[in-house]
Amino acid sequence: MNATPNTRIEVIDLGHQAYQPVWDLQEEQLKKIVVLKRQNRLLDVPLATPNYFYWVEHPPVITLGKSGLPKHLLLNETQLAEKGIEFFTTNRGGDITFHGPGQLVGYPILDLENFFTDIHKYLRLLEEAVILTLKEYGLKAQRSEGETGVWLDVGTPFARKICAMGVKASRWVTMHGFALNVNTDLAYFDYIIPCGIQGKAVTSLKAELKREVSLDEVKAKILIHFSSLFNAELYFN
C-alpha cells in the first residue's frame, strides 16, 4: 500500500544564512524523508512524507556543480579570500554559479512521489514559476534549449541569464533549487564563467527595470505560481 500523497508544502524563510549550514539542513531533511519512505515499506498504513520550501539569501559564495569544470572559476583561493567569497564543490546538477546579497534562492525539498515522478517536468515547472513571475514585471523570460534556467532575449546576441537552477534528487526527494537575480551585484559574475557558458551575459530584475525590487514581493509572486503549477497547498512557518 502506498501512502496518501501529501501535496502540502511548508514554506520556511531562513533570511540571511551562510551556504554550508543551509546545505547541511537540506541534506538532513532529505535523509529524514528517505528514511521515512524506507520505513513505509514495512507499514500496513504508510505515513505521509513532508515537503518543504526554503527561502534564503546567502552572503557571497560560488558553487560548482557535478558537471562543472574548475577552470570556470576565474579566481584562486587567495583572491577568493581577499574578496570575501566562499567556494564550495556541491552535489547538485549544473555547472558554476554565484549566490549573494540581493539574490533570491529557493530550495524545495519535495517528495516528488507526492506530485509526479519526472525530474525533467520538475525542472520545467521551476522554470515556469519564474517565467510567470517575471511576466508580471513586463519581462518576456524564456527557456534556452539545452541550458537549464531562465533567460531573456533568447536566440539573440543579447541573450542573458536571470535565473540559474541546479538540483539533486534521491529516491524522488529533491534538494538545491534555483537562484533568481533580483537586486544582485552582477560584478561578482565576472569572477566565473556563469554556468560554464561562454559569451552570454547575466542580468537581474534591478538591471532590467532600473530600480530596486522588493524580495518579499517577488517571493510572494513566485509562491503563487509555484503552488498553482504543483497543485500544492502552502503553509508558512
* Residue 163 annotated among the catalytic residues of the structure: no
Q: What pLDDT, on a 0 to 100 scale, did the predictor assign at position 195?
A: 60
The percent of residues above 90 in pLDDT, for the chain, comes to 87
Please name which of 163, 208, 158, 160 lies closest in space to residue 181, comparing C-alpha atoms.
163
End-to-end, the C-alpha distance of the chain in Å comes to 31
Q: Dump pLDDT digits (tens) for 27-78.
A: 999 999 999 999 999 999 999 999 999 999 999 999 999 888 889 999 999 9
- The yes-or-no verdict on residue 223 having pLDDT over 90 is yes
CA distance 50 to 3: 11
Q: How confident is the model at residue 206 (pLDDT cuts 50, 70, 90)?
A: very high
What the block records as the C-alpha cell of 171 is: 529516491
**Average pLDDT, rounded, for the chain:** 94
- Residues paired with 64 in a beta bridge: 89, 96
User: Residues of 28-65 as b/e, b for ≥16 C-beta within 10 angstroms?
Assistant: ebbeebbebbeebeeeeebeebbbbbbbbbbebbbbbb
- The yes-or-no verdict on residue 2 having pLDDT over 90 is no
Q: How confident is the model at residue 194 (pLDDT cuts 50, 70, 90)?
A: confident
- The yes-or-no verdict on residue 3 having pLDDT over 80 is no
Catalytic one of 195, 202, 218, 223: 195
Collect all residues with Cβ–Cβ distance below 8 Å to 63 and sequence separation of at least 6: 19, 87, 88, 89, 90, 92, 96, 97, 99
What domains does the chain contain, in order, with CATH numbers? 56-104+115-230 (3.30.930.10)
Q: What pLDDT, on a 0 to 100 scale, did the predictor assign at position 147?
A: 86
The percent of residues above 70 in pLDDT, for the chain, comes to 97
Q: What pLDDT, on a 0 to 100 scale, did the predictor assign at position 199?
A: 65
Q: How confident is the model at residue 79 (pLDDT cuts 50, 70, 90)?
A: very high
Q: Dump pLDDT digits (tens) for 113-170.
A: 999 999 999 999 999 999 999 999 999 999 998 888 999 999 999 999 999 999 999 9
Q: How confident is the model at residue 180 (pLDDT cuts 50, 70, 90)?
A: very high
CB atoms within 10 A of CB 68: 23
Q: Are 57 and 105 in contact (CB under 8 A)?
A: yes
- The yes-or-no verdict on residue 200 having pLDDT over 80 is no
CA distance 186 to 28: 32
Collect all residues with Cβ–Cβ distance below 8 Å to 3 and sequence separation of at least 6: 40, 46, 47, 48, 49
CA distance 86 to 98: 10
Q: Are 99 and 75 in contact (CB under 8 A)?
A: no
- The yes-or-no verdict on residue 197 having pLDDT over 90 is no
- The yes-or-no verdict on residue 1 having pLDDT over 60 is no
